[in-house]
A and B are shown apart, each in its own frame.
Chain A
């Protein structure tokens, strides 16, 4: 279903999408966010990727685990508020069973992003508490190496790895 007519997707979102494909991701679970619209739109229209639209992010961790058991390479595209919703699933499903997941997380409340400073202020601490390795993506030049490298790290460590996507990198 065409949700809205759009001009061509922002370059940053196109580069992230290309890197997801290059990393070999086979399945993406997502929940909408305005800044993620272009990226999720590209994912939903791709014929090779299996796209599962979520109602709440924690179920996405479990869906990713089910996909992994059948040989899939799963990713989630969510907001950092949704990362908070996922914490029990990340601990007791993904980390406990050692399931690699590429977490692409919109960094609401980042420097220069107004309105969500509280969730922004706790995001990195939650990832540190979960001992999930992460990096913040700010420049287009870093997209390809960061996304493919994050998946390689997830697979090598059998753990979720997070990339925090900033407004500047998604929308420019």
Chain B
């Protein structure tokens, strides 16, 4: 299965849920399909699952989605362990395993050898973990994840896209992207989340 096909199949299933997208091409593929300010593009490889955990814990009534990659997960394996400990019910972790560092010269990752992401997740205590390698089962797994309590962990085995990963950075000003994401969350929540940064009661001290 191709990652872009897999993503296309779940646009309606993800709906308006806030999404964190790992470093690399997944961002541009997803942002073309669901072009909203609710797509947060990360800069630190592996950080997606942990930023997602922070948001999921803060908004326990809302599904939070992370689009991750094999290289990212194995850089932040301890992030899985913390998710398995905290077990946020609203956390949906989707990992596209293409077995290469697509943005770094397509060099093979450890999943091309002996690492098993599904076993890592289960070992970390994430019980709702599954592996799929075709679009139909992928969409079914994501639908289950979006409609039942998690945390959910889905390994989707995909082919390398074969595209030039250097084109993956589309939003240059990431601070602007951050504020857009916050405003997107505020629209979903129907209330202000961040007040003005300067709090007078501290500033006058």
* A93-B44 contact given A69-B178, A148-B202, A155-B199, CB 8 Å threshold: yes
Does B47 lie at the interface of the complex (its beta carbon under 8 Å from any beta carbon of A)?
Answer: yes
Q: Chain A nearest CB: distance from B181 CB in Å? A: 6
Tell me if A81 is interfacial: C-beta within 8 Å of chain B.
no
Most chain B CB atoms below 10 A, which of A59, A96, A149: A59
A99 closest partner in B (C-beta) = B178
- Dominant secondary structure at the B interface: helix
Residue of B nearest to A89 (CB): B44
Q: Which of B77-85, B104-112, B146-154 has 4 or more CB atoms under 8 Å from chain A?
A: B77-85
Which of the candidate stretches B52-60, B135-143, B156-164 sits at the interface with the other chain? B52-60
- The proximity string for A residues 135-163 relative to B, scoring 1 for CB distances below 8 Å and 0 otherwise, is 00000000001001101100110100000
Segment 66-107 of A: residues with Cβ below 8 Å from B? 66-72, 74, 88-89, 92-93, 96-99
CB of B194 closer than 8 Å to a CB of A: yes
Cross-chain contact B202 with A71 (CB below 8 angstroms): no
Tell me, in angstroms, the Cα distance from A72 to B53 when the chains sit together.
13
Instruction: Give chain A residues whose Cβ lies under 8 Å from the Cβ of B133.
Output: none
Tell whether, in the assembled complex, residue B85 and residue A70 are in contact, meaning their CB atoms are under 8 Å apart: no
* Residues of chain B lying within 8 A (CB to CB) of residue A53: 82, 85
Is the interface on chain B under 10, 10 to 19, 20 to 34, or 35 or more residues? Answer: 35 or more
Interface presence of B73 (CB below 8 A): no
B78 touches A71 (CB 8 A): no
Cα distance A163–B114 when bound, in Å? Answer: 42
Task: Say yes or no: A59 contacts B193, CB within 8 Å.
Answer: no
For residue A15, CB closer than 8 A to chain B, the reply is no
User: CB distance A66 to B194 under 8 Å?
Assistant: no
A112 to B175, CA, bound (A): 42
Cβ–Cβ contact B47 & A71, under 8 A: no
A97 close to B178 (CB less than 8 A): yes
Q: Which of B39-54 contact A (CB under 8 A)?
A: 40, 42-44, 47-54
- The smallest beta-carbon distance between A103 and chain B, in angstroms, is 16
Across the interface, do B82 and A98 meet the contact criterion of CB distance under 8 Å? no
Q: Does B86 contact A (CB under 8 A)?
A: yes
* A-B CB proximity, top 7 nearest: A66-B54, A62-B50, A71-B193, A70-B58, A152-B202, A55-B78, A66-B55
Contact surface of B with A, Cβ cutoff 8 Å = 40, 42-44, 47-59, 76, 78-79, 81-82, 85-86, 174-175, 178, 181-182, 185, 192-195, 197-199, 202-203, 205
Q: A63-B54, A96-B174 are in contact. List 6 more A-B contacts (CB 8 A).
A: A62-B44, A63-B51, A66-B51, A67-B58, A69-B40, A156-B203
* Chain A residues at the B interface, C-beta cutoff of 8 Å: 24, 27, 50, 52-56, 58-72, 74, 88-89, 92-93, 96-99, 145, 148-149, 151-152, 155-156, 158
Q: Can you pick out 27 interface pairs between chain A and chain B where the beta carbons lie within 8 Å of each other?
A: A24-B199, A50-B58, A59-B47, A59-B50, A62-B47, A62-B48, A63-B54, A64-B54, A66-B54, A67-B57, A69-B54, A69-B58, A69-B185, A70-B55, A70-B58, A70-B185, A71-B193, A92-B43, A92-B47, A93-B43, A97-B43, A148-B205, A149-B205, A155-B197, A155-B199, A156-B197, A156-B198
